[in-house]
Amino acid sequence: MTNNTSEKIPIYSVEKGKILMMKKIEKTDDEWKQILTPQQFNVARKKGTEMAFTGKYHDCHEDGIYKCVCCDIDLFDSKTKFESGTGWPSFWAPVANENIKTEVDKSHMMIRTEALCALCDAHLGHIFDDGPQPTGKRYCMNSASLKFVKRP
């Protein structure tokens, strides 16, 4: 059952051009399975990954916004997307720092910075310090965790 806590957090909306206070989203695995494909569930909810060069957005060059596949908040603008050569969609910055949270990931005998959706805690991918300027960051994301909406 969905947790209806009253905790609200700041989330930036590209459409509204401002920060909105939104209620944190918490659902059970069964609730997520009802709205996500098996691959989306594995990646976004169970911290899986898709194989390099297989995700639908790694080679996408259209203009728009990448949103969280689980809760639909804005995560990345296509204007910050770049070709990293890694096989995953890569961005040098999120639409707003408020929309992404990070955690230390010590899985697979590595220490990495995991990127999560700030509103629903979906696993998005990892952040590395080998991206282009102006940030020097590479937000290496899974297509399965994203939903692309073309800019009108």
Task: Return per-residue pLDDT of the chain as tens, 152 residues.
Answer: 444 556 899 999 999 999 999 999 999 999 999 999 999 999 999 999 999 999 999 999 999 999 999 999 999 999 999 999 999 999 999 999 999 999 999 988 889 999 999 999 999 999 999 999 999 999 999 999 999 999 98
Fold of the domain spanning 8-150: 2.170.150
Q: What is the pTM of this model?
A: 0.93
Q: Is 60 a catalytic residue?
A: no
Q: Per the residue annotation, which of 68, 70, 71, 140 is the catalytic one? A: 140
The torsion defined by the Cα of 122, 76, 35 and 37, in degrees rounded to 10, comes to -90
For the chain, the structural domain boundaries read 8-150
- Evaluate whether 115 touches 102 at the Cβ level (below 8 Å): yes
- Helix ranges (DSSP H) in the chain: 29-35, 38-40
